[in-house]
Amino acid sequence: MRNMLMWWFLNAAIPSPLQDCEITGLMRHHKDKHYPVLLFVSHIDEMNGIVAMETGITFGAATTLTAIEDYIQNIIDQHVNGRR
C-alpha cells in the first residue's frame, strides 16, 4: 500500500495549494534506500524537462502524505509567501 501511495503522489496532479507556486514539492525513493526523499523543482528546462534539486530531507516510511504535503506547504508559506 505504501508503494502505491508514493506512486500516486509522484504521478498525481499538483495539489491546488501548490500549483501556482514556483517551488513545487516532489517525492521519489532514494535509489539505495527505502525512505522517500523530498525534492524541489528548481526550474523547467524545455530541452531537459524538470530539473530538481535534492534537499536531503527524508521522511520515515510511516510518514503520511498529509504530513508531507503540510511540510511542503509550510516551506512555501515561509519562503514564497513571506510568512514566518
pLDDT tier for residue 81 given thresholds of 50, 70 and 90: low
The residue among 31 and 10 whose pLDDT is bigger is: 31
Burial class (CB within 10 angstroms; exposed 0-12, middle 13-18, buried 19+) of 28: middle
Range 34-51 average pLDDT: 49
Domain boundary assignment for the chain: 2-79
pLDDT (tens digit, 9 = 90+) per residue, 21-42? 333 444 444 455 444 555 554 4
Q: Looking at the DSSP assignment, which residues form a beta bridge with residue 39?
A: 26, 54
Q: Which residue has the cell 534539486?
A: 53
pLDDT at 40: 53
Judge whether residue 51 has pLDDT over 50. no
Q: Which of 67, 73, 58, 84 is nearest to 21 (CA)?
A: 73
Q: Is 0.85 surpassed by the pTM of this model?
A: no
**How many Å apart are CA 52 and CA 49, to the nearest integer?**
10
